[in-house]
Structures are given as structure tokens and as C-alpha cells.
Amino acid sequence: MSTTTISLRDILRSLPEGAAEAVVELHFATQLLKALGFGPQEVHPQFPDGNNKFVDRAARKTIGDDVFLHTKSNPYLLLELKGRDINLAEGTKQYQSTVRQLKQYLLAPNCQTAQWGIISNSCHIQLFRKHGKVVFPATQCFALNEDNIDRVVKEIRRKLEQPPKALTVSVYNNKGGVGKTTTTVNLAAILTFLGKKVLAIDFDPNQQDFTSSLGLPLSEGHVFNALNDRDADLLSALDTYAFPLKKGDRELKFDVIPADQELVDASDDSLRKLLKRNMLHRKLAAARQNYDYILIDSPPNWRFFSQLAVYAADVVLIPTKHNNLFSLENAAMAITKFIPEIQAEKADGSPMPLPVFFNGEKITPSQREIAQQEITNIIRAAKKDGFDLLPYFYPRYTSSRRDLHIPHVPSYANIAGAAFSRTPAVYRDRYAHEYYKNLAKEYFLQ
């Protein structure tokens, strides 16, 4: 190990300032993958992604007699290299286009099994994780130098060797009444239906809508205790929602951490004295190895609880309403201000906001036009402050394609009314079922 780390430092020192991609590839990439634990038989250069493009390096450990170099199947890690003449500092145009490129590779047909992607030009390096369809940062974008390269590579290697099983999604909008709870309940239910292991967390003690919409009892101090006591296990507060299927004796089940009665009266101030913002994230460590999805229903506003929920997340799903300007403005506020605040504190690149979707009544063409006008204004305003909101509102928009499509989950009586029957709408109504399945596939499932 020591020999490889020394040579990585040597390489960093010896690479010429404007080294072209081929030079970085020849000297740096080979050593980097070696330091990350991949042997020569476990790395394939110019790996065909299945879309007629080639990834600079793909890697996978040998499994039995399945040697990656020979079978070229099921890559685990993709590496996209650039020359030193390309600036990969976070936020630059070249950085953004490189990240886009990596995402395309990770989602390409031959790379379905890839769980990680790295971009590097030997001056900067960043690790991304792929979970289903979602690609999000797993580290910040490090500026490499001789002093930190050993530490950075070690950290990346540690992550590669212990991939968390779960994707943690916080459903958040600082505007209330946009359907956060409905979204969380139905996503949890449909992901369960699709065979995923789901943990849903009701983190809105003031409303407790989530817990009561499933007819589960409130927790009596367990959650607060688990957050407050460093030795307590959060999963001790666990409850299970079960829905019996008509056929046979099978049932659909997902785990729930219910809202805690004891937290209703706690003020932000008193909580802040007892808890750190990273507490929920820390307490979910075991759950991240256990579930496919952890969904958190977070309270509106930017209260302390919202902050805990957003901190715990890999990605933040933001429901909005097309006919509610505030929900759109607040989504922009969360993306430009609140989430970056947490990112700065968490320092691993996450949580990443997902593109917004419309949750609510049917949209007529003229309403769509008004909403688009509002969004254009919001995007323009953010641009003045140097923030590009375009990908969060119009993910399909490119410079050559003005695609203004925003995913939409229409709500109607059956979805809202489901709360009274203590059953998620997707288990009762076939249209709700299809809409949320569509949402799950649009955002999460590969």
C-alpha cells in the first residue's frame, strides 16, 4: 500500500502543468485505480457504454472466475478523465459538462450495474454514487495536492468498499400544503409494491399526518430519546405498516418511524441545545445498510426539524403546485439557499436537490403557460445571483432543445381521501397506482 501511495504523490508532482488527457490517463489513472484497490485484470480502458460511446476506464473486482478484463460485464466503477487543461473546479462550465457526461455513461445500457463514477483531471477529483436512476455526489470536489491525495484516495476507497444499500430521500418544500405527506406515503407504498425494502420516517411532529394517514399510533418519546441519547437505537421506535393482498396470504409491508408526541411541544431553541443537525443522519447509519429506500417526510418552513431531515438526505425531492407561485419560489429558495447551507456543513457533496415536479390539480394549457412564465422569472432572478436553476425546473432543457417538460402527479379526491381509509391511495386506486409508479420510475428506478 505504501509504495502505491508514494507513487501517486510522485505522479502528481511530476505531471506537467497542462498535461493532456492522454498523459493524465497513462500516468495518473492507472495508479489511481490501483490505489483504489483494482488490479490490472480488473480495469478495462475505453469501455463501450452501449450507446456507441466509450468510458475512459471501467473497473470491477474479480468474482470467482469472472475476470472483468475478459468478460467486460457488470462494471462497478466508471472513471471519466480529463486533461489538466480542463478546469474541473466545482461550478465551472467544464465541470458541469463533465458531470453530465459521467451521468450519461452511468445510465447507459452496458453500465446498469455501475454504482460509482469518478471524474478527475489529477488536479480535482470527485466521486459520484448511482442508486437506481439517481446519480448524486458522494464526496465534495477535492482540489488535489501532494499533501491531501493519500487521504482523499483513502476516503474514496473506503466508500467504494462499503456501498450503502439505501437511497435517502427527503421530501421537502418550505411551503406547506404542496403534498409532501401524500408524496411520501404513496412513494413508500409504490416502491414497496415494486419489491423494494422501504423505511418511511414521519419527521413532522406538529402535523403527524403521515403516521395518522396510515392509522399507526404515535411514538411516545422513543424517537426523541433515540435522537437525544447517543447510545439509543433509532430503529427501536420502528413500527410496520402492512397491507394484506387479496390473493393468497401475502401482504405488502414497509417500516415506519412514526411521529413523536414528545416532540410536539419542543421548541426549536430547546432542541438545538440537545441535538446536532447531523443527528438523524448519524442515527440512520444502520438503516442505510438495511433498506433500499429511506423516505423522510419533513416539515415545512426551515425549522430545525427540516434541517435534520435535509441533512440526513442523499437527495431532496421537492413537490410544488403549478398554481401556487409561493411553492415555486420556495422551491427555488430551498435549492439556492437552504440546501447549499447543509451541503457546506455536511461536506460530502450531498444532499442534491432533484428536479421539481408538479403535484396537484389538472393543468390546462393556459395555466401551464402562466406557470412557465413564473418559472422563467424565478430562473432569471436566480441567474443574477449566479445560480443556475434551469436543471432543477427543466431537466430536459438543453441549449439546442427548449424542452419545458415538468413531471406531474395529478391529485384528485381519491388520493386525498385515502387518508381517511388509513390506506395509501396507490393500494386503493388504480390511477393513483399508475401515477406514482410513473413518478418512481421517472425519478428513482432504472
Q: How far is CA 380 from CA 319, 340, 354, 376, 394, in A?
A: 21, 19, 19, 6, 13
Q: How far is the CB of 361 from other proteins (least distance, A)?
A: 14
Measured between alpha carbons, how far is 134 from 143 in angstroms, rounded to an integer? 25
C-alpha distances out from residue 377 to 29, 174, 333, Å:
44, 19, 13
Does 116 help bind other proteins (rule: CB under 8 A)? no
Position 384 contacts other proteins (CB under 8 A): no
Does 437 interact with other proteins (rule: CB under 8 A)?
yes
Q: Distance (Å, rounded) from C-alpha 42 to C-alpha 38?
A: 6
Using CB under 8 A as the binding rule, whether residue 159 contacts other proteins is answered as: no
Stretch that binds other proteins, among 201-209, 227-235, 341-349, 430-438 (CB under 8 A): 430-438
Residue entry with cell 405527506 = 181
Q: Is the peptide bond before 45 cis (omega within 30 degrees of 0)?
A: no
Is 13 a binding residue for other proteins by CB under 8 A? The answer is no
Considering only CA atoms, which of 198, 300, 174 is closest in space to residue 253?
198
Contact segment (CB under 8 A) with other proteins among 292-300, 353-361, 419-427, 437-445 equals 437-445
Nearest approach in angstroms of CB 107 to other proteins is 10
Cell of 42: 480488473
In the beta sheet, which residues pair with residue 315?
169, 352
Size of the site for other proteins (CB under 8 A): 7
Answer yes or no whether residue 441 interacts with other proteins by CB under 8 A. Answer: yes
Could you tell me if 360 and 323 are in contact, meaning their C-beta atoms sit under 8 angstroms apart?
A: yes
Among 28, 293, 311, 435, indicate the residue that binds other proteins (CB under 8 A): 435
Query: What letter would DSSP give residue 423?
Result: S
- Position 405 contacts other proteins (CB under 8 A): yes
Greatest alpha-carbon span in the chain: 68
Q: Answer yes or no whether residue 104 interacts with other proteins by CB under 8 A.
A: no
| Residue among 30, 278, 290, 438 that touches other proteins (CB under 8 A) | 438
Cβ 300 to other proteins, closest distance in Å?
27
Q: Quote the least distance from Cβ 426 to other proteins, whole Å.
A: 12
Contact status: 247 vs other proteins (CB under 8 A): no
**Residue 175 in contact with other proteins, rule: CB under 8 A:** no
Select 44 or 433, whichever has its Cβ closest to other proteins. 433
Q: Which of residues 161, 229, 388, 434 is near other proteins by CB under 8 A?
A: 434
Q: E-strand spans in 147-298?
A: 167-171, 198-202, 239-244, 251-257, 293-297
Question: Is residue 139 left, alpha or beta, with left meaning phi > 0 and alpha meaning psi from -120 to 50?
Answer: beta
Binding site for other proteins (CB under 8 A): 405, 431, 434-435, 437-438, 441
